[in-house]
Amino acid sequence: MAKKLIEIKNIVKRFDNQVVLKGINLDINENEFVTLLGPSGCGKTTLLRIIAGFLEPDEGNVFLDGEDIATVPAYKRDVNTVFQHYALFPHLDVYDNIAFGLAIKKQPKDIIHQKVMRMISLVGLEGFEHRDINAMSGGQQQRVAIARALVNEPQVLLLDESLSALDKNLRKEMQLELKEIQREVGITFIFVTHDQEEALTMSDKIVIMRDGMIEQVGSPLEVYNTPVNEYCAKFIGDSNIIDGTMKKDRLVSFDDADYVCEDYGFAENEPVDIVIRPEDIDIVPRNRGLLNGEVKSVLFKGVHYEIVAETSSGTSKTVIMHVTGEHDVVNAEAHERMSATSFSMDVEDVKDITDAEIIARANAQAWNDDEEDVSIPNVNYDLKEDEGVYDCTFETAAGTKITIKINVVKPVSVEDAGNEESIQAFNFTKSVDEIKESVALDTDLIRWADAYAWSTEDNSQVEIWDVKYDFDDENITEGDYPITFSTQGRELKLETTDHHEVGERVGLEWNPEDIHVMRKMN
C-alpha cells in the first residue's frame, strides 16, 4: 500500500472576485507521478503554486507528510519547482545554478561538488558544467532546471508546464527522460500540463480539472477507458460521444436501437452520454454488424486509416425549385421592350405586398429603342392569402404587356422526433441565369429556399449539412427540380488498418465492453 504524502483538503482560492479553485480535495502518494491535466484557466497552475507555497489558499489545508504547510513559506518547504520558462539564473553558469540551493543551505563545498556532479550526470549534461546558461538550448536549460530542483532532494518535485516550450520531438524525448528520472530518484512528481498525450505517457495518476474543480482522478488507463463524463472523454483521446438513453442495466439505446453494454447503476431511461473509442469499432460486411453505415471520408494516418461512417441520416426536407426563363416582350409599334421573371413569395407576405415590391421581386423592366427606361404604371394581379399560382401582368402606358406567375407558398417543415430536430424550407422560383451565375450554389440554394434547421430540444440552430439535387447547374433549363436539405446524421469515427472507399456501404460492430456509458454533465 502506497503511503500518502500530500493531502490537499478543501482548497479554495479567489483572485479578486473570481473563484479559481472551488474546494479541491486530492491525495498524492509517495513516489507517484501525478499529472494535473486541464485547459488553461482550469486552476491547475494555481493549485501547483499553492503546493509550492507561492500562493496562500483562502480556505483549506495542504498536508505534507501529515504536517499542515499552508502557512509555511516557500523557502522552508521540502518541495522544489521546475518552472515553465525554467527561471534559471542568468548570472550563474550551469554548475552554480544547480549548486544554488545547496549553497543557500551552506553545505560544505566538497559535498556540494559531489551532489552537483551526480545531478549533472543524471540529466546528461557532463562537460557543460561551466557553460553560460544563455548559451544552452531549450532542452539543455530544461535539464539544468530539473537538476537544480532535484539536487535539493525534495520530497516532491513540481513541474509547471515544463515541456511546453520545447519542440515536438524534444518533448517526446523529455517525456521518457522525465519518467526515467522519476523512477531513478524515487520521489513524487506533480506535473501540470494541458497536453493529454503527455499526461497519458508519464503519469501514474491523472487528475482532470475543469473550472477550479476536479472532474476525475485515475490511472491513465482508467481515465481513458472509463471517463466519468463527456468532458473527460473529450479531453483524453479521440472519441465518439453520442446522446443516448439507458434502457436498463447493461442496455443502452441511441438512434432508435438498443445496444448491450456492461454499464449499470443508472436510473431507468436516464439520458446518458455514450463513448465509443474509434479503435474499438470494427468494419464488417453490411448487415452483419450491429448497425449499417456509409463511409463518408477516409484519412490515411500512417499506421491506420481514420474513417468516418454515417450510420443514420439527418433530418431532411425536399422542396421544389421552379426554374423559369426570362423572356423579353417586344412591342414594335411602341418601340418598347419589356422583361420580368416569375417568383415565389411567402403566404404571410401577401397582405402587405405593394406594386413597387412586386416590380422589384419580378425584376420587371421596360425600355425603349434608345435604351431609356420606361415606367410601368399598371400592375394587375389577384393574389389570395392561400397557396397557389397567380398571374400577374405588368403594362406600360404604351400598352406593352408581360405576364408572369407568382407562386404563393407556405414554409414546409419536417420534424424528426428521433433526431430531436426540425427543418424548414420554401419552394422557390429562380431564373436560369441566376442559377448559372451562382458561385456557391449550395449556399445560395439554402438562402433561396430559406432553409433553416433547429433543435426541438432547445431551439438552437442546427447546421444544414447537405444539399442534394439532381441537375447540372451549367446546363439547367426551365422546369421543376427537387432539392433536398438535410442536417448531419450520426457519424462515427473509427480507426482501421484496412482501406475502404468513400461511399462504401458497410456494417459496424463493437464489443459490449467497448461501449462506455457516462452520466450527463450538468
Partner 1 sequence: MIIVPMLMIVLYAFTVQGNSVLTLTITFDNFARFFSDPIFPGVLWKSLKMALITTIICIAIGYPTAYIMARQKPKSQGLTVLLVTLPMWINMLVRTYAWKGILGRLGVPGEISVYVGMVYNFLPFMILQIYTALSKIDASLITAAHDLGADEKQTFLRVTLPLSLSGVVSGITLVFLPAVSSFFIPKLLGGGQYVLIGNLIEDYFVSTGDWNFGSAISLIMAVIILISMYITRKLDKDVKEK
Which spans of this chain sit near partner 1 (rule: CB under 8 A)?
Answer: 52-54, 73-76, 79-81, 83, 85, 87-92, 100-101, 103-105, 148-149, 152
- Give the 3-state secondary structure of residue 9: strand
CA gap 124, 147 in Å, rounded = 10
Q: Measured from the CB atom, is 2 or 135 closer to partner 1?
A: 135
Grid coordinates belonging to 1:
500500500
Q: Measured from the CB atom, is 153 or 478 closer to partner 1?
A: 153
- Torsion angle defined by CA atoms of residues 159, 162, 164 and 167, in that order, rounded to the nearest 10 degrees: -140
Minimum distance, C-beta of residue 423 to partner 1, in the bound complex (Å): 55
Minimum distance, C-beta of residue 165 to partner 1, in the bound complex (Å): 13
Of residues 227, 221, 258, 257, the one with CA closest to residue 240: 227
Minimum distance, C-beta of residue 12 to partner 1, in the bound complex (Å): 22
Q: Measured from the CB atom, is 63 or 83 closer to partner 1?
A: 83
Q: How many CB atoms lie within 10 A of CB 76?
A: 9
Minimum distance, C-beta of residue 86 to partner 1, in the bound complex (Å): 8
Q: Measured from the CB atom, is 128 or 343 closer to partner 1?
A: 128
Q: Measured from the CB atom, is 76 or 301 closer to partner 1?
A: 76
**How large is the angle between the packed helices 109-122 and 138-150, nearest 10 degrees?**
130
Name the one residue in this structure whose C-alpha cell is 515541456: 163
Q: Measured from the CB atom, is 191 or 428 closer to partner 1?
A: 191
Could you tell me whether strands 205-210 and 33-37 are parallel, antiparallel, or unpaired per DSSP bridges?
A: parallel
Q: Cα(first)–Cα(last) distance of the chain, in Å? A: 35
75 exposure class (CB count in 10 Å sphere: 0-12, 13-18, 19+): exposed
Minimum distance, C-beta of residue 104 to partner 1, in the bound complex (Å): 5
Minimum distance, C-beta of residue 49 to partner 1, in the bound complex (Å): 9
DSSP string, 13-70: EEETTEEEEEEEEEEEETT-EEEEE--TTSSHHHHHHHHHTSS--SEEEEEETTEE-T
Q: Measured from the CB atom, is 79 or 321 closer to partner 1?
A: 79
Q: Measured from the CB atom, is 3 or 76 closer to partner 1?
A: 76
Grid coordinates belonging to 13:
482560492
Minimum distance, C-beta of residue 56 to partner 1, in the bound complex (Å): 13
Grid coordinates belonging to 133:
546558461
Could you tell me whether strands 156-160 and 188-193 are parallel, antiparallel, or unpaired per DSSP bridges?
A: parallel
Q: Measured from the CB atom, is 91 or 351 closer to partner 1?
A: 91
Minimum distance, C-beta of residue 100 to partner 1, in the bound complex (Å): 5
451 exposure class (CB count in 10 Å sphere: 0-12, 13-18, 19+): buried
Minimum distance, C-beta of residue 8 to partner 1, in the bound complex (Å): 19
CA gap 393, 402 in Å, rounded = 6
Q: Measured from the CB atom, is 152 or 344 closer to partner 1?
A: 152
Strands across the sheet containing 401-409: 343-346, 401-409, 388-395, 378-381
Q: How many CB atoms lie within 10 A of CB 250?
A: 15
Please answer whether residues 296 and 502 qualify as being in contact, where contact means their C-beta atoms are separated by less than 8 angstroms: yes
Minimum distance, C-beta of residue 444 to partner 1, in the bound complex (Å): 54
Minimum distance, C-beta of residue 47 to partner 1, in the bound complex (Å): 16
Q: Measured from the CB atom, is 48 or 261 closer to partner 1?
A: 48
For 251-268, the three-class secondary structure string (H helix, E strand, C coil) is EEEECCEEEECCCCCCCC
Please answer whether residues 311 and 281 qualify as being in contact, where contact means their C-beta atoms are separated by less than 8 angstroms: no
